[in-house]
Structure 1
Amino acid sequence: MQDERQHETAVSNEPARLSLYDEMAEVVDFADAPGRTTTMAVETTDGDPFCL
Structure 2
Amino acid sequence: MKNLSFVNHAIEYVFTYFSWGYFYFSAGYFCCDELNRHDIRMRRNFGKSYRLAAGGI
Instruction: Give the TM-score of the pair, scaled to structure 1.
Output: 0.34
Which of the pair has the greater relative contact order for Cα pairs under 8 Å at 6+ separation? 1
Instruction: Give the TM-score of the pair, scaled to structure 2.
Output: 0.32
- Judging by fraction of residues, say which structure has more helix: 2
- Judging by fraction of residues, say which structure has more strand: 1
Task: Please tell me whether Structure 1 or Structure 2 has the larger radius of gyration of its CA atoms.
Answer: 2
